[in-house]
Amino acid sequence: MTRLRSVPSDPVDRTYLPLDEWRLVETRPHPDLGLTETLFATANGYLGMRGTPSEGRDAEIHGTFLNGFHETWQINHAESAFGFARTGQTMISVPDSSVLKLYVDDEPLLLSIADLEEYERWIDFREGVLRRELIWRTPAGKRVKVSSSRMVSFAQRHLALMTLRVEMLEGSAPIAISSQIINRQDFRDDYGKGVEGGPITDKADPRRTTDFTHRVLEPLQDWHSDRRMLLGYRVANSGMTLAVGADHAVESDAEVE
230 has which bridge partners?
223, 245
pTM for the predicted model, two decimal places: 0.83
Give residue 166's pLDDT. 97
Contact (CB, 8 A) for 138 and 173:
yes
Per-position DSSP letters for 34-79, written without gaps between them: HHHHHHT-EE-SSEEE----TT--S-S---EEETT-EEEEE---SS
- When computed from its CA atoms, the radius of gyration of the chain, rounded to whole angstroms, is 22
Degrees, nearest 5: CA angle 189-192-197? 35
Give residue 112's pLDDT. 92
Q: Does domain 23-247 have CATH number 2.70.98.40?
A: yes
Q: Which residues of the chain have pLDDT under 50?
A: 190, 195-203
The CA–CA distances, whole Å, from 37 to 42, 186, 249 equal: 10, 21, 26
Give residue 256's pLDDT. 84
**Sign of the four-CA dihedral 30, 34, 35, 36:** positive
- Rounded Cα gap, residues 102 and 146, in angstroms: 9
Strands 228-235 and 241-247, bridge-based pairing: antiparallel
Kindly state the helix (H) or strand (E) to which residue 151 belongs, with its residue range.
strand 143-152
**Sign of the four-CA dihedral 181, 186, 189, 190:** negative
Give residue 198's pLDDT. 43
Domain coordinates in residue numbering, the chain: 23-247
Give residue 207's pLDDT. 55
DSSP annotation of 188: B
